[in-house]
Amino acid sequence: MKYSKQVSLQTHNSFSVHSLCPVMFFPENEEDLCQLTKVLPKSFYILGEGSNTLFVGGESPVIIKPNFRGIKITETLENYIVQVGCSENWHQLVCFCIERGINGLENLALIPGSVGAAPVQNIGAYGVELADFCTSVKWFDFATDKLQLINAEECKFAYRESIFKHSLKNTGIITEVELTFSKSWQPILTYPGLNKLPANVSTQEVMQKVIGLRTSKLPDPEHKPNAGSFFKNPVVDLNFFKLLSDKFGEMPHYPQKNGNIKLAAGWLIDQAGLKGIRQGGVGVHDKQALVLVNFESKKGQDIVNLAAYVQQKVFEKFNIKLRPEVRIVLSEGEVNFQTNDLITSGCS
Ligand SMILES: Cc1cc2nc3c(=O)[nH]c(=O)nc-3n(C[C@H](O)[C@H](O)[C@H](O)COP(=O)(O)OP(=O)(O)OC[C@H]3O[C@@H](n4cnc5c(N)ncnc54)[C@H](O)[C@@H]3O)c2cc1C
């Protein structure tokens, strides 16, 4: 199996922070994975393209960067079935499908990252999420050294959630993702920005609209290093929502199937007066307050400190605790992000 020692991670994470990885393994087949389980230390991290990962501290844990490639298409009378290696790039997969008349992923265009990471947080945008198409994932289980299929129900997909963030975390690797697309495609145009498109719009047009909207709103990590939404949109119960709207007036909100209400974290951050603030070379983006940007820091810790400040201010104003979407990785591995445990300096 291929591996490298003392790898700088700056080009392996979209926040572009410095951290040194002692060993990075690049398994590319089942044999490599079996070999890997024999040498795996207690702490390790599985890395895709690092667009949802924040490394904190000078050294990272051992990193596994799988290299499983390939896209296979089969079809039935009604569906296209697409099986994709985990290391393929997500946006390239979207383009690949649309070019071949396989419709469905257009609303998920331009989301950075790898295909293997997509089920982990059930990526979503513009009213569509991976769970709408994912029928199974191929999973290499470290305990048994075997590949197995995990079906969509077992993946326990929810808003930015799946079993891979919980009971299966660090117990194996997603090597392949299977997506199924109905041949009778209907565009999903419910989301603001898409809802003015005509009903007979083409997939290409929807995709171009999504790309246009995203590029106008989100900073490009190439120029302003970031990891997209830093926090998840909080979900509150109806009673609490009523109290909030009595106090703060009309606020963006999205009723959920179970009666709860999803709020817009970016709006809460903006209302807390934090849009555009800067501290320690990092800041809250001036157009989209949900995005934290690394302007000129080398340290993940600076971003953690800012995130903690944002959490504190939003909590003071709304009594809501924002939870991060981004994975925080210390030398001892991924941690559950309680910023208060990680702050090393104040933020004003
Ligand atoms: C500008 C920008 C915009 C974004 N917009 C969106 C958006 O609209 N919607 C959205 O949902 N997300 C969005 N994101 C977040 C990000 O694109 C997704 O989370 C993406 O899936 C991350 O892919 P990655 O390969 O970079 O993951 P990484 O950051 O490398 O890893 C993320 C998680 O997946 C795990 N993982 C990765 N590969 C595997 C594997 N093969 N097996 C098991 N576990 C694995 C990692 O251990 C980690 O827990 C955005 C990010 C950026 C920078």
pLDDT band (50, 70, 90) for residue 347: very low
* Percent of the chain residues past pLDDT 70, beyond the cut: 97
Q: Is 60 in the pocket of ligand 1 (CB under 6 A)?
A: no
Q: Nearest to residue 138, comparing CAs of 91, 79, 178?
A: 178
- Residue range 49-98, pLDDT digits in tens: 999 999 999 999 999 999 999 999 999 999 999 999 999 999 999 999 99
- Residue range 198-208, pLDDT digits in tens: 989 999 999 99
The predicted pLDDT at position 192 comes to 87
Which atom of ligand 1 is least distant from the CA of 219? 1
Q: How far apart are CA 291 and CA 218, in angstroms?
A: 8
The mean pLDDT of 278-288, rounded to a whole number, is: 95
* Percent of the chain residues past pLDDT 90, beyond the cut: 92
- Residue range 11-47, pLDDT digits in tens: 999 999 999 999 999 999 999 999 999 999 999 999 9
Ligand 1: residue whose CA is nearest its atom 10? 123
Q: Give residue 296 CA to ligand 1 midpoint distance, Å.
A: 23
Q: Is the pLDDT of residue 262 over 50?
A: yes
pTM of structure: 0.94
Q: Where are the alpha helices (DSSP H) in the chain?
A: 30-39, 90-99, 152-155, 203-217, 238-248, 265-271, 300-318, 339-342
Q: Is the pLDDT of residue 340 over 70?
A: no
Q: Are 110 and 215 in contact (CB under 8 A)?
A: yes
The predicted pLDDT at position 337 comes to 65
Q: Give residue 50 CA to ligand 1 midpoint distance, Å.
A: 7
Structure tokens, 260 = 């709860």
pLDDT band (50, 70, 90) for residue 236: very high
Which atom of ligand 1 is least distant from the CA of 129? 11
Residue to mutate (ligand 1; options 52, 177, 294, 328; most atoms within 8 A of CB): 52
Name all domains of the chain by residue range, CATH numbers in brackets. Answer: 2-64 (3.30.43.10), 71-215 (3.30.465.10), 221-342 (3.90.78.10)
Q: Is the pLDDT of residue 336 over 90?
A: no
Q: Is 112 in the pocket of ligand 1 (CB under 6 A)?
A: yes
Ligand 1: residue whose CA is nearest its atom 51? 228
The mean pLDDT of 153-157, rounded to a whole number, is: 98
Q: Is the pLDDT of residue 345 over 50?
A: no
Q: Which residues carry out catalysis? A: 160, 229, 325
Does the CA dihedral 312-161-142-47 come out positive or negative? negative
Q: Are 144 and 123 in contact (CB under 8 A)?
A: no
The predicted pLDDT at position 40 comes to 93
The mean pLDDT of 151-161, rounded to a whole number, is: 96
pLDDT band (50, 70, 90) for residue 338: low
Q: Is 290 in the pocket of ligand 1 (CB under 6 A)?
A: no
Which atom of ligand 1 is least distant from the CA of 218? 1
Instruction: For strands 235-236 and 128-129, give the pairing.
Output: unpaired
- Give pairs for 313-321: CB < 8 Å, separation 24+: 313/272, 313/273, 313/274, 314/265, 314/268, 314/269, 314/272, 314/274, 316/272, 317/268, 317/271, 317/272, 318/244, 318/248, 318/268, 318/271, 318/272, 320/234, 320/236, 320/263, 320/268, 321/234
- Residue range 108-131, pLDDT digits in tens: 999 999 999 999 999 999 999 999
Residue to mutate (ligand 1; options 88, 106, 111; most atoms within 8 A of CB): 111
The 10 Å CB-count burial string (b at 16+, else e) for 49-64 is bbbbbbbbbeebbbbb
Which atom of ligand 1 is least distant from the CA of 174? 42
The predicted pLDDT at position 342 comes to 44
Structure tokens, 333 = 């591995």
The predicted pLDDT at position 344 comes to 39
The predicted pLDDT at position 346 comes to 34
Q: Give residue 48 CA to ligand 1 midpoint distance, Å.
A: 7
